């Protein structure tokens, strides 16, 4: 029986997805895209899941595209089909109602790095190694790197990361604002677990709509963003969860 390339584990309100090709540092293949997409589709339909943790099996997050795949890239229509599947996956990560925490240890190179950046939170070990390796192998950014980098660190820093293609560690990634947090290797699992439990305790609809609003804000004027907020807030203020929280606050204030 063939082992799953993307492992799916659900515990309480938290789902962990594990890229499972540790022998080649979880390099991205067509099969990974297929199984990853199927897992996201499954998660989107499961209202019990509040948070997703994405990680890599073994000592690494992902080394980027499988070199065997790149070696076979001699027919443009096939590669375009693959890249469009990648596009669909990255968009699905951004549109997933549940927040995604990417836990990064070891290498996160190329599309592996940008897949991590597609998550809502990236927590890396200090010794994790990131690299926008594309320029070093004669290609362009993919996996959303062209979109994510300038939005996360500004255009000047994005140029540095993309045009020089230098490796940098988790601590540097956090300091430049590329990722949420960098921690010592021995604290990585606990930090991610604590963050996942914190998010799982938040109102699910609030998490989903806040994530949606932030993502869509890049395509909105200020007036449009305010209108989006007004429309959605008028609904959220009528939810049972919000009414219960307000009632509890008012009762505490009377004491």
Structure-token pair, residue 75: 């027919």
Other C-beta atoms closer than 10 Å to the C-beta of 165 total: 16
Per cent of the chain over pLDDT 70 is 96
Q: d(Cα 130, Cα 179) in Å, to the nearest integer?
A: 11
Selection from 39, 190, 177 nearest residue 103 by Cα: 190
Band (76; pLDDT cuts 50, 70, 90):
confident
- pLDDT given for residue 72 in this prediction: 66
pLDDT score of 186: 98
**pLDDT at residue 68 tops 60:** yes
pLDDT at 1: 40
Considering the chain, what is the average pLDDT of its residues?
A: 93
Helix, strand, or coil (residue 6)? strand
For the stretch 155-158, contacts whose Cβ atoms lie closer than 8 Å and that sit 24 or more positions apart, written own/partner, are none
Q: Is the pLDDT of residue 213 over 60?
A: yes
Angle between helices 30-44 and 76-95 (to 10 degrees): 30
Average pLDDT score over residue span 199-220:
95
Angle at 127 between CA 121 and CA 132, to 5 degrees: 65
- Distance of alpha carbon 125 from alpha carbon 40, whole angstroms: 25
pTM across the whole model: 0.92
Q: For 72-165, where are the alpha helices, taking DSSP H only?
A: 76-95, 111-117, 145-153, 155-164
Of the candidates 39, 65, 62, which has an alpha carbon nearest to the alpha carbon of residue 137?
A: 65
Mean pLDDT of 188-193: 98
Domains of the chain: 6-200 (3.90.226.10), 204-254 (no CATH)
pLDDT tens sequence across 147-177: 999 999 999 999 999 999 999 999 999 999 9
Whole-number Å distance between alpha carbons of 77 and 149: 27
User: Higher model confidence: residue 4 or residue 255?
Assistant: 4
Q: Give the pLDDT score at 27.
A: 94
- Whole-number pLDDT of residue 74: 66
pLDDT digits (tens, 9 = 90+) for 88-133: 999 999 999 999 999 999 999 999 999 999 999 999 999 999 999 9
Strand partners, 131: 109, 167
Name the residue among 91, 115, 93, 92 with its Cα closest to residue 104.
115
Q: For the chain, give the percent of residues with pLDDT over 90.
A: 83
């Amino acid at each position: 029986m063939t082992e799953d390339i993307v492992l799916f584990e659900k515990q309480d309100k938290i789902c962990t997805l594990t890229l499972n090709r540790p022998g080649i540092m979880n390099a991205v293949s067509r099969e990974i895209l297929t199984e990853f997409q199927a897992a996201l589709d499954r998660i989107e339909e499961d209202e019990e899941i509040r948070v997703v943790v994405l990680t890599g099996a073994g000592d690494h997050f992902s080394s980027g595209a499988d070199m065997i795949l790149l070696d076979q890239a001699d027919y443009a229509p096939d590669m375009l089909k693959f890249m469009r599947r990648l596009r669909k996956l990255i968009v699905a990560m951004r549109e997933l109602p549940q927040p995604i925490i990417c836990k990064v240890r070891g290498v996160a190179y190329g599309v592996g790095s940008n897949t991590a950046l597609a998550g809502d939170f990236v927590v890396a070990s200090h010794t994790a190694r990131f690299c926008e390796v594309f320029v070093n192998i004669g290609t362009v950014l993919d996996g959303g790197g062209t979109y994510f980098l300038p939005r996360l660190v500004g255009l000047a820093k994005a140029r540095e990361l993309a045009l020089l293609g230098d490796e940098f560690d988790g601590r540097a990634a956090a300091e430049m604002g590329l990722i949420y947090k960098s921690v010592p290797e021995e604290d990585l699992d606990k930090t991610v677990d604590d963050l996942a439990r914190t998010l799982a305790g938040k109102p699910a609809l609030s998490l989903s709509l806040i994530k949606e609003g932030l993502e869509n804000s890049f395509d909105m004027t200020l007036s449009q963003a305010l209108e989006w907020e007004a429309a959605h807030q008028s609904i959220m203020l009528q939810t049972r969860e919000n009414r219960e929280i307000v009632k509890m606050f008012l009762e505490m204030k009377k004491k």
